[in-house]
Structure 1
Amino acid sequence: MTTPLPAIATAPRNATAEQIELAIRLAKHFNVRYVERGDQGLEQLYERCGVQAIIVADDPVKLWNRAAATPLFFHPSMGAQRIERMERGETDRLLKVMGLGPGQVVVDATLGLGSDALVFAYHVGPSGQVVGLEASPYLYGVLTAVKQFGAARYPEATRLLRAVDIHCVHHLTWLRDQPDDSVDAIYFDPMFRTPEEESSSMAPLRSFAESSALLPEAVEEAKRVARKCVVVKERPTSGVFYRLGLTPDLPRRKIAYGVWNKQV
């Protein structure tokens, strides 16, 4: 992979031999230079190495952007809570909207940090398949690093992530290459163009994520490729559902799922 921002990989301060070895392996994984940390702070490394991003061999791996105050790293986020509720027998709203069942094939076309994909992987099980598409080489690098090197802090989420088939590609490019009716469901959770509130987890994500608007052409391609449905997460008031020919599941909620079901 090739990273679009100048970056280096390094270890934490007072690193163990294992962390230094991981930093060297991460440098190869991200195709960047490994730099010994010593006692230097991140700002010193930015200046010394002339880079915008620093990959730190932590658990899980942390990705720092000079423009963000906090690092980007893999965590299950709401996905873990949703899975816990499902284990108690509760119904997951998104899975209900998609009509997704065990053994089916679902595409998360805007993978991000994989929170929804973890829920999909848990639900479809080993007989199903989850395909994750991520246009940002940095997010792709973080997720595939977790798949390869693990994240001891999140063992169950790591197990589920390893079941996701991740591709570093823009969803439109991938969809154009797929046959008609070749997957069961396709899901888009594009970055909101004008966020009302910026959570602490979203700020570092925005500094590395692909933030272009969801194109009507991508949704049309998804309608061709999906056997069952296409679902888009958005604000009902944004006008996106109307423009894309989608029906919101709960139009009075702050956030809704716009649904298109293929007629058979």
Structure 2
Amino acid sequence: MSAAETRTFLCRSDNIGVLIRDPRTGACAAIDVPEAAPVLRALDETGWRLTDILVTHRHGDHIEGIPEVRRATGARLTAPEKAREAVPDADAYVREGDRVRVGDLEAEVWETPGHCLDHVAYWFSGAEIVFAGDTLFTLGCGRVMESPPETLWRSLQRFEVLPDATQVFSGHDYVISNARFALAAEPDNAALQARAAEAERAKAEGRFLVPSTMGVERDTNPFLRAREPALARAVDLPSGDSTAVFVALRAWKNRF
């Protein structure tokens, strides 16, 4: 496994800022830049030198701080090809199957539409780290904005192939509201009950549960568990068609 160092921190009100660094070469990337000041502060605190910015999608709360950070660091900017119009000055544009490097760390680009059409995730297989942006959250998933909900379900299924130990970095800290919904949908899930209690403790201590792991999310995240009979019953779909269950869960969460 490739060694990688990470640093997470809060941006804006609930965005998660992330740095990933290759300790051998010193190369370091920011995953999105929701706000410049926290990213620059994290760089100052760690002593890391920013070489790259990897954009997951075009929404303003993920790209707003990029110009200031680029001026301060000269970092190379990589953005989704489908976000070219919103991010017109990137150094590189990527699509499904492309690879990006941060020093010796290499990521595969996955197109993961659903939250928006241009969304991508970055899967660093050697480090067992995935940057999911606003597709997959701790105990939740992104809001559907530009596609049928079935599109987001297909994108979420991409993550099912990842090992349990994979660290999942998401773009927002919505864990408390996500936990409350998850418990409403699956109240008898003991692993979920424990995870929700952990989320409350983390909030009281000023922490957030990012990253999570794929193993934990498989056990607790209702949007990854749409094949479970308990979730089908929760949305009155005893036939258990996972796509229909996911669509119903996402619609319920919108009203929750």
Return the TM-score normalized by structure 1: 0.32
Structure with the higher strand share, 1 or 2: 2
